[in-house]
Chains A and B, each alone.
Chain A
């Protein structure tokens, strides 16, 4: 079933009776060429690119819950490529280009909206860093504009520019950044993979990874044993548990990150605005809700909900930046499980077990990486060598100390990101 304007018109005129499920609900086959563990955004994208770019269609995605029920449906939907460091910079640039062609390649409306991202700065030193980061982005081939205070004021006049502690000095504006409809990204990739022959198997938890003579041979699941030549683990916050099934310990600690949404309001925030000094960022969904969040709660957690001190902190930061939002009523808050790596950058690499691949460590920035991660992980699985945009996401960088990508400059240590 393909989507088109003509199709919508036809369905509208015939009672919308012709729409069919977006993907099949197959029983697992006894064996596959590739099994992708994890049916989140990254896993579904991996399966899609395995089929679409590498001709591998005898592929299964195993999801212990349901499609769209994990972090891909729990994030704040921001898409951007404004990284500074080599490694991250080229990867997110690659990912953003995939975003820009995504709706066409999936034939699916993911509501990708390049409304622009503004990172505010509040001192001369921060301005220097923003200029340097902007130059890195431009050198990478992406877009960046350094706004002075008046430039920011013209775009977002409602900020508290004269705040005593954090006066707004300007902003790093990234016009091609923006947002996308997160659920639609999961559904679009699931549908795209399914159309190409991939089996998406929900309610199927992996309970064991079979390894013989240093080579992966398949997995044990709650729906029986399944053989596979290659297995990819891409399970975000659950990476530690799934890797343990193969006897591995990872440089990953799972933390909780909270997010919030208000009641629907008329359009008032046109861009994505980040206020790094308050660990606060905000955008407005197409439905009208103000979607915002802050920093980690800063302790290991799988609860998918956080504690009140961080809620208070985020609300205070929001009020500090834009006092006008004080009258908006918060509708919901929730938490996601973040796979935090020591240096805050991801891992897309082989493991010491032949045929077993790992994609994790996306910290609190996994959503924008969905197309890039899926694309590069599929490349690694299919070709056994890293994609050029992801050569630095090595698992061994923590042991060797070579090629750490500490984007925040805080040190490569678990509790610092």
Chain B
């Protein structure tokens, strides 16, 4: 698998650390309540198909990126910087 870092271009998967669903960009307010926090920390859509997830370009430019890819075929459809992605 090769991921298209918006800054560095297409790079080997081994340069990246996987964080999980891009849901992590939607951090609830501190006082949002335990349901909202349990949702955010633990519950996942876990789609079989197109997903958006967060990767950290650890072995490259240190950017957090949101990768759109297919979990069934491993096809990578695109990537953008997490900053401003939401």
- A binding-site residues for B, Cβ under 8 Å: 238-241, 244, 249-254, 298-303, 307, 309, 342, 398-400, 412-415
Contact = CB atoms under 8 A, between A and B. Distances in A.
A252 B47 CA distance: 11
Interface of A is mostly: mixed
A398 B41 contact: yes
B20 to A, nearest CB: 5
A252 B74 CA distance: 19
A282 B43 CA distance: 33
Interface string B67-83: 00001111000000000
A415 B71 contact: no
B13 A251 contact: no
B42 A299 contact: no
Given A251-B43, A251-B44, A307-B1, A414 B20 contact: yes
A239 B43 CA distance: 12
A299 B43 CA distance: 16
A398 B19 contact: no
B45 A299 contact: no
A253 B54 CA distance: 14
A251 B14 contact: no
A253 B14 contact: no
Contacts of B13: 299, 307, 309
B20 A251 contact: no
A252 B14 CA distance: 24
A253 B74 CA distance: 16
- What DSSP secondary structure best describes chain B's contact surface? mixed
11 contacts: A239-B46, A241-B46, A249-B43, A249-B45, A250-B43, A252-B46, A302-B72, A303-B74, A307-B1, A309-B13, A399-B34
Contact of A303 (B14, B21, B34, B73): B73
Contacts of B38: 398-399
Contacts of A307: 1, 13, 74
A299 B18 contact: yes
A300 B19 contact: no
A240 B44 contact: yes
B41 to A, nearest CB: 7
Nearest to A299: B18
A414 B46 CA distance: 11
Contact of A300 (B1, B20, B34): B20
* Most chain A Cβ neighbours within 10 Å, of B34, B35, B41, B51: B41
Task: Report the 5 A-B pairs with minimum CB-CB distance, sorted nearest first.
Answer: A240-B46, A399-B38, A251-B42, A398-B42, A249-B43
- The residue in B1, B72, B73 that gathers the most chain A C-beta atoms within 10 A of its C-beta is B1
Contacts of B1: 299, 307
A415 B46 contact: no
Contacts of A412: 42
Given A300-B71, A307-B74, A415-B19, A253 B41 contact: no
B71 A249 contact: no
Contacts of B85: none
Given A309-B13, A309-B14, A253 B44 contact: yes
